[in-house]
Structure 1
Amino acid sequence: MTQPVDYLANETWTVGDVTITKVVESSGPFPIELLDPIVGAERVRSVKTGPSWQRPYYLSGNDEICTPVHSFLIQTPTKRIVVDTGVGDDRERDFEGFRMLKSGYLDRFGAVWDPESVDYVVSTHLHVDHCGWNTRLENARWVPTFPNARYLFIKAEYDAWKALAADPDASRLWDPTPYMMLDIERLFSESMLPIHEAGLVDWTEPDAVLTPEVRLIPTHGHTPGHVSVLVESGGQSTVMSGDLFHGACQVAHPEWHDQLDIDRPKGMLTRAGFLERFADTSTMVLFTHIGPSPAAYIKREGGSYRLEPAGA
């Protein structure tokens, strides 16, 4: 399958009576070493000689990968739902790749929906690259990007990051480089607290049914309240995985923990359970950080798993 020429192009899928559109904030390609702080340099080196199915779609001949950051816009017959909101522009961030972005994201979003028309905003979890555009900078203040939406927060997730933002020793949970990527204190004050103060938060269960077509699936481990989003309509289904996987290598090796997993044993079990549940089914998976297109089917291969890009 030929990689899309425009990595920033919107993609749309139809699931029964539901449409899902990907709006990209940033993409690639990038050297595979970008995954070093996520799954570890030794594991990344082993990927280069790993399963052949990863090449050339997920790993190019130049050892480059696409690790996008994007939102999924779910249009049901009754609701407009945004899943994950990226990093956000105009932010001071410790991690250079997230610092003071000028991404054009809102323009690409506006080509699909008016931000004021959104009903729900769902974050699979509250890491820096999943809730940034909860707010935007206006007159030196962080204000809700989607002012008429209800922001659906898992309370255990929110409370965990609130506590860590106030904890000067929070870095003890992670190695220095992964911790730097989180930027917890600024993230909480800019992208979470303003939503709560604006009265736009609805505390939501991790298995909540949002509409007849859309429900959350608890997939904890990466973070305390991490969820995936399942869409079922007209006999078709797709699931947005969130950050259960940061690279195709973790599909082949679900036992490889993510260095940003707050509960690494739980994260490994959750990945394995997700793969077992959806392997060899008609459910299309929409990944967050695996590209160049996020859409793929999970297939069993020997004692492990592989990805088959949708449309291949």
Structure 2
Amino acid sequence: MPTTAHHATPHTDAPTWTVGDITVHRVDEVPLPPQTGPWLLPGATPEVVAQAPWLQPDFADEQRVLRLASHSFAVDVAGLRVLVDTGIGNGKRRANPAWSNLNSDYLKRLTQAGFAPDSVDLVVLTHLHTDHVGWNTRSDGASWVPTFPNARYLTTRTEWDHWAAVDMDEARRQMFRDSVHPIKDAGLLDLVDVPLDGSAIDIAPGIRLRPTPGHTPGQVAVELSSNGERALITGDCIHHPVQLVDPGLGSCVDTDPAAAARTRRELLGSLSGTGTLLLGSHFPPPTAGHVVPEGDAYRLVPAANAPAREISAT
């Protein structure tokens, strides 16, 4: 595992949180269109949203339609630069019109946060869905090449084996051709074994992968810990804070809805009241918060951004 130290000053507008000595930046790609919520979480009706007034105005609009976003988390751990998920990507043909042929300034934002593509050491892919792997690669005009050529890309063996065995439709095959196979062909992809019994594994100092199956079989959440403080990056085991109101609310693209609901309930129960910072992979701003009990379920208490600070290591 690389341990290169880097020195850069992050863009001060990048939303940032600290977890002990770990710094986490949210790197925005695009807000997702309003129709995303009713499609992705069909059970999260306006009537359900109305049961939790705290969801508005940040997490739902005036009509109680969910707000969602696509972003990455860029994590600095003692100079090791780690990127968790890589969004949708630019210039890629996708079945979802909202995701097709994007032209965002994601790489500019990433660089402004202090993570120039050549400086990234490790890319953690929580799972292999289109909106989590897109910036794995970029076009060089002739082909798709790794965006982060000096990084190791990491996903679970369970996730890889699942998709290798599935008869994928053409849209998913296209995504693998332009965003997954090029990093494998370049020798940059590592598969890690994460037990499905709930045990987390260490991948770097202060960073662990926690199995969160259900949305996909090999999906993981990313745990961060430093100096007694802890955070968890959700991946898609929790798409939106409305699922704290009802952990049984599932996504239309969960491979195993019952397992996904079990994962959510167990995860939220383990986080509730602990002070752990929850960082939602699709949560709109303010994105981060603490899980607290409310009635028979939970709510998210938003956390403030930390002041931007220099990324450095000795």
Q: Same fold (TM over 0.5)?
A: yes
Q: Quote the residue 2:210 is aligned against.
A: 217
| Higher relative contact order structure (alpha carbons within 8 Å, sequence separation ≥ 6) | 2
Aligned-partner Cα distance in 1 for 2:212–2:280: 14
In structure 1, what is the Cα distance between the partners aligned to 2:60 and 2:46? 12
Shift of residue 116, structure 1, vs aligned partner: 1.0
Determine if contact 1:135/1:143 at 8 Å carries over to the other structure.
Answer: yes
Deviation string, structure 1 residues 126-165 (Cα, Å, up to 9, x no partner): 110101101111122010000011111211212222333x
Q: CA deviation at 1:292?
A: 1.7
* Paired residue secondary structure (2:177): helix
Letter of the 2:216 counterpart: T
Tell me the matched-pair count. 287
TM-score, with length taken from structure 1: 0.87
Question: Any idea what SS the aligned residue of 1:24 has?
Answer: strand
SS at match of 1:251: helix
* Partner in structure 2 of residue 70 of structure 1: 71
Q: Which of 160, 179, 183 is residue 191 of structure 1 equivalent to? A: 179
Matched residue, 2:140:
138
Task: Report matched runs for 1:44-193 at 5 Å.
Answer: 44-111=45-112, 112-164=114-166, 167=167, 170=168, 183-193=171-181
Return the match for 1:23 from 17, 21, 27: 27
1:232 aligns to what SS in structure 2? strand
Counterpart for residue 234 of structure 1? 227
Q: How far apart, CA to CA, are the structure 2 residues paired with 1:267 and 1:64?
A: 22
| Letter paired with 1:193 | H
- Tell me, what secondary structure is at the counterpart of 1:203? strand
Change (3 A) 1:155 1:121: same
Percent same amino acid among aligned pairs? Answer: 37
Q: Which structure features the higher share of helix residues?
A: 1
> If the length of structure 2 is used for normalisation, what is the TM-score?
0.87
> Against the structure 1 CA distance between its residues 62 and 264, is the aligned structure 2 distance closer, same or farther, given a 3 Å change threshold?
closer
Give the counterpart letter for 1:156 in structure 2.
Answer: T
Amino acid at match of 2:178: E
Unaligned runs of 5+ in 1: 1-8, 172-179
Give how far 1:250 is off. 1.2
Q: Is 1:34–2:36 an aligned residue pair?
A: yes
CA contact (8 A) 1:66 1:292 kept: no
Task: State the secondary structure of the residue aligned to 1:98.
Answer: coil
Q: 1:18 to 1:48 in 2, by over 3 A?
A: closer
Instruction: Measure, in 2, the Cα distance between the counterparts of 1:271 and 1:218.
Output: 11
Task: Name the SS of the counterpart of 2:47 in structure 1.
Answer: helix
Q: Give the unaligned 5+ runs of structure 2.
A: 1-12, 195-199, 306-314
The letter for the 1-side match of 2:295 is G
How far apart in 1 are the matches of 2:285 and 2:66?
Answer: 8
Q: What amino acid sits opposite 2:279 in the alignment?
A: L
Alpha-carbon offset, residue 108 of structure 1: 0.8
What does residue 176 of structure 1 align with?
none
**For residues 172-212 of structure 1, what are the alpha-carbon distances to aligned partners after superposition, in whole Å with 9 as ceiling and x for unaligned?**
xxxxxxxx9xx311111111111111011111123331222
Cα displacement (A) at 1:48: 4.2
1:271 is paired with a residue whose SS is helix
Query: Mapping of 1:260-271 within 5 angstroms?
Result: 260-271=253-264
Q: Distance in 1 between matches of 2:159 and 2:259?
A: 15
Q: Give 3-state SS (helix, strand or coil) of 1:192's partner.
A: helix
- Change over 3 Å in CA distance of 1:48–1:271 after alignment to 2: closer
Letter in 1 for 2:302: P
CA contact (8 A) 2:240 2:280 kept: no
Structure 1 70/43 Cα, relative in aligned 2: closer, same or farther at 3 Å?
closer
Given that 1:162 and 1:188 are in contact with CA atoms closer than 8 Å, whether structure 2 keeps it comes out as no
Q: Are the equivalent residues in 2 in contact too, given 1:161–1:188 (CA < 8 A)? A: no
Q: Which residue of 1 aligns with 2:14?
A: 10
Q: CA deviation at 1:268?
A: 0.4
Residues 61 and 67 of structure 2 are in contact (CA less than 8 Å); yes or no, is this contact kept in structure 1? no
Partner of 2:188: 200
**C-alpha displacement of 1:37:** 1.8
Asked whether the 8 Å contact 1:251–1:305 carries over to 2, the reply is yes
Aligned with 2:174: secondary structure? helix
Residue identity matched to 2:100: R
